[in-house]
Amino acid sequence: MKLIFSVFLVLLASATFVKYSQAANEPDCVGLANENPLKINRYYHPHDSDCNKYYQCSRYGLVEMQCPEGLNFDRNLYICGRPYEFITMKFLIIAVAFLAILVVVSSQQAPDCVSLARQVPEDISKYYFHHENDCNKYYQCAEYGLVLKNCPEDLHFDRNLYICGWPHEVNC
């Protein structure tokens, strides 16, 4: 019985984690996990041949993930979205980034991004936090505080994966 259970665990592990040789442009997830284990699951890498799939770093290597049905992974924005929205979304993100400089959210319950920026010298904008009341909204850290962001229409922010996804597939 123990042998069967052990074989099952090995098969499960090999089915879960993608095994392939690492190309020069792919992230070294294990190395990243050793450097900063708290943010390892925030690194993404596009799939080589399927626009609907992407890889997410884990402490054991790249894990193949799939965008919700009808969405593709954008290689520049590192999010899943409707293919025809990417050009519009890029413009929108630039506009939101500009407005974010003008409007900074301050919340006593939210993490202190200014203190975090002093502790973590890397790009502080890679830190995301869920909104207290609205599943469509989330916060992104900036050197000067939290910036309120919105997921694309009909999507909710997943507090575990730090991405926007379909409401029935996210943990909000």
- Structure confidence by residue, pLDDT tens digits, 6-59: 433 333 333 333 333 344 355 667 666 566 666 655 678 888 888 889 888 777
- Higher-confidence residue of 99 and 165: namely 165
Please tell me the predicted confidence (pLDDT) of residue 124: 64
Q: What is the DSSP letter of 153?
A: T
Beta strands in the chain (DSSP E): 44-46, 53-58, 61-66, 72-74, 79-81, 128-130, 137-142, 145-150, 156-158, 163-165
CATH class of the region 84-172: mainly beta
Where residue 163 falls among pLDDT bands split at 50, 70, 90? confident
What confidence tens digit (pLDDT) does each residue in 85-138 have? 555 555 666 666 656 654 544 433 445 666 665 666 566 667 788 888 898 998
Tell me the C-alpha distance between 37 and 59, whole Å.
7
Please tell me the predicted confidence (pLDDT) of residue 88: 55
Tell me the C-alpha distance between 19 and 45, whole Å.
15
136-141, long-range: CB within 8 Å, 24+ apart, which pairs? 138/164, 139/105, 139/107, 139/110, 140/100, 141/111, 141/113, 141/116, 141/117
Phi then psi for 60, rounded to 5 degrees? -110, -5
Closest C-alpha among 11, 155, 25 to residue 79 = 155
What confidence tens digit (pLDDT) does each residue in 80-97 have? 888 765 555 556 666 666
Where residue 155 falls among pLDDT bands split at 50, 70, 90? very high
Whole-model pTM?
0.35
CATH 2.170.140, the chain: domain bounds: 84-172
* Across 72-82, average pLDDT: 82
What confidence tens digit (pLDDT) does each residue in 58-72 have? 777 788 899 998 888
